[in-house]
Each structure stands twice: as C-alpha cells, then as structure tokens.
Amino acid sequence: MTHVLVLHGPNLNLLGTREPEVYGSTTLAELEGQITTWAAELDMECSFAQSNHEGGLIDALHDARASADAVLINAGALTHYSYALYDALVAVDKLTVEVHISNIHAREDWRRHSVLSPAADHVIFGRGLGGYLDGLRRIATTRAHPAEKISYAASPVEYGELRIPAGDGPHPVAVLIHGGFWKEMWTLDLMDGLAVSLAANGWAAWNIEYHRVGGGGGWPTTLEDVGQAIDFLGELAGSHNLDLTNLAAIGHSAGGHLALWSASRPRLYDEEPDKQGVVKPSRVVALAAVSDLGMAHQMGIGDSAVEELMRRGPAEGPERYSAASPAELLPLGAQQLLVHGDADDAVPIEISRSYAAAATAAGDDVTLHELPGADHFVVIDAASAAWSAVVDWLG
C-alpha cells in the first residue's frame, strides 16, 4: 500500500475560519478526514503533519524518509520563500505533489512564485479542496506507470509526458489533450488515468501540456502549442519506436476542441511552406467536446470561456472562429468518435449533436455515442464503461 505524507504549513490549522471566501469553511480536521477517505479508495494510507514553523515541516519530512512513498504538500506562505524546505524535499527525494487551495497565480504578486515547485513532480492550484484528491490521483497514476517528461519547445509549460507500453513495438500513439475550459489551473494530470489505461492496452500515450488562458495562452498560442506538441512526435518516433500511421488524438471538453482542431491542420497550412512535417491524427476521440466555438459562445459555457480563449483574435463577428472552431473547418478528413453524456451541464450535449450532423453532412466518418444520465466527467474515468468503449473503438 502506498504511504503518503501530507504536510500543511503555516496558518492552515485555521482552515474553516481563515478567509472562508478564499479557503472555504472546511476545517483542517475535516479535510484530513476527507483525504483519508479518498486515499483508502485509491489503496493508499496517509499520515499528516501541520506546523506554523519551517523546522517542524522539515523535521516531519526527515522523520518520514523511511516510511513515506510520496509527499503531498501545501506549505502555505513558506511556498514562496523557504529554500530550507526546498532543500529538504530534494534531500528526502520522494514523489512530491505541491497543492494549493486557491489560485495563487491570480492573487498577490508575491504568491505567484513558488520556490518549492522545482522540487515537486507536479503542482496543483486553484481547484479548492478537490485539488488534494487530484494530487492523490496523480501520485497513484505516477506510481502505476511512471512517465517520461519531454519538452517539445522552450517554455516550461510546453512539454508532454510519454508512457510507452510493454513490448517492442512499433507502438500506436494516442495524444491526450486535457480540458478545463483552456484555463491555467487545469493541467495534464486530468488525463493521467487514461494515459495509464492506454499504455496497459498497448498504446503509447503522449499526454501534453500547453499554454492556457491566464498563463500566456489564448488564441492563437494555445492552438499553436498543441500543433507543435503533436508535430514533435516526428522527432520521438524513431527513438521510442512509435507508429505515427496509427495516431489518435483524444481530448476532453476544451481538449476535445483542440483534438478535433488538430485534424484540420494540414489543410489550414496548405499555403504555408514553412509548415512542412505536420503530423495529423487519423482518428479523433472527442469526449464531451467543445466542438463548435460559435455555438458554445452563444450558450455562454464556462463563464464566457470561449470569449476568454479568443480575446486576442478579431473583436467582432463569427469570422473570428474560422480558423479555430472545428465546426467551421469541416470536413476534417479523420475518423471521429464523439462521446457525450446527456446530463452534462458543463458542455451541453446539443453541441455534439449539432457538430455530428454537420460533420456527417460534410462527408466525415463520425460516430456519436450518447451516454444516458452521464455527467461531464465520467468520460475521463478510466474505470467507466464509457472509457472501455473508447478503448474498444481504438482497437
């Protein structure tokens, strides 16, 4: 059983009464109880330590060197200046996930920089208390099948995590593109479970990160990152024995938009000679996808998320979506599987229904699989029947 040391820094003992508008009304004791429950569901056990003193957290790390397999840490304000705590994390050398309840990147300037992040394997912020569950899931999937982190460009957020299946290959490849309405606090850990599942089923899984809104992303940067990450597979194919003739793009929500868009790129670039070597997926799996930006904008999904994505583009008119919305780029020329729950209140199923009809009319091979009573997230649950059907479709 995996043993996780959960560390809480200064002032987190006041959870429940300290700035509840920022941190919520749950007490630290209640949070630790919830973490214990989540951990048990993931076949983990947790020990906890909280201190208002730097040395207390360092001592807890040292004491757990022999017993802990991983560390989940919210160091509070120490996050932003404690190099001693950074040194302790490096010295103890455990799988580490840094977590923050609030969106520290949207608060005071001094909160936006973490001196601990370089010692962490992953950082989760801005997801409320649910970030602890996501941190535990990240630990579980990393221990189940570690990934190779590979940069595809110069920015720290321009990277992917590659998981290679057993066997000699060549391996079919699935590009995983996470959702989160293109917003900065949502990261590739959302697709970790699917990546592990794909690797177990014989697929190389390339789980990619990209600039998101709030962190330098938006139109066109976000889309260009995704294209660059997919094209980078051309450089990885030889060294990792990848079969790019059997390439699928799999995206959830906003990532579904990006996956569908990626299939249109060769046509978009026909008149740009510097865009040679574009790698195109032959199949796309769009899970609860934002497949029509214009329709999604009219519906106001994600608190004007489409408007935030396209803010850097033309200010007015439907033409702003002509190079960004899959519904405006049909036919894509790729086989497509759309999976959508009819109880999805984040991205209404009407978007997939409308897109499927338009894509079919344009000549694309499209299958829409509707899930009765399903919400927005069941489609990225690797244990669900919905995901099993996707794996079967991939073959």
Length of the chain: 395
Catalytic residue, chosen from 8, 86, 100, 252, is 100
Angle at 334 between CA 332 and CA 340, to 5 degrees: 90
Closest CA to 24 of 41, 36, 12, 35: 12
Cα distance between residue 389 and residue 253, in whole Å: 18
Closest CA to 302 of 262, 348, 342: 348
Contact in structure between 81 and 111 (CB atoms under 8 Å) = no
Q: DSSP class of residue 84? A: H
Q: What is the DSSP string of 95-107?
A: EEEEEESS-GGGS
Q: DSSP class of residue 112? A: G
What percent helix, strand, coil does the chain show, rounded to 5? Answer: 45, 20, 35
Distances (CA, A) of 369 to 174, 241, 322, 331, 341: 19, 32, 26, 19, 9
Closest CA to 102 of 21, 191, 10: 21
Residues 6+ apart with CB under 8 A from 146: 163
23 is catalytic: yes
Contact in structure between 252 and 271 (CB atoms under 8 Å) = no
Catalytic residue, chosen from 8, 23, 240, 297, is 23
100 is catalytic: yes
Distances (CA, A) of 266 to 225, 272, 291, 389: 15, 10, 18, 29
Cα distance between residue 206 and residue 163, in whole Å: 7
The backbone torsions φ and ψ at residue 143, rounded to the nearest 5 degrees and listed phi first, read -70, -30
- The sign one gets for the Cα dihedral 252, 255, 260, 266 is negative
Q: Tell me the residue ranges of DSSP E strands in 117-221.
A: 122-125, 148-151, 159-163, 171-177, 204-208
Cα distance between residue 331 and residue 357, in whole Å: 12
Q: Which residues are catalytic?
A: 23, 100
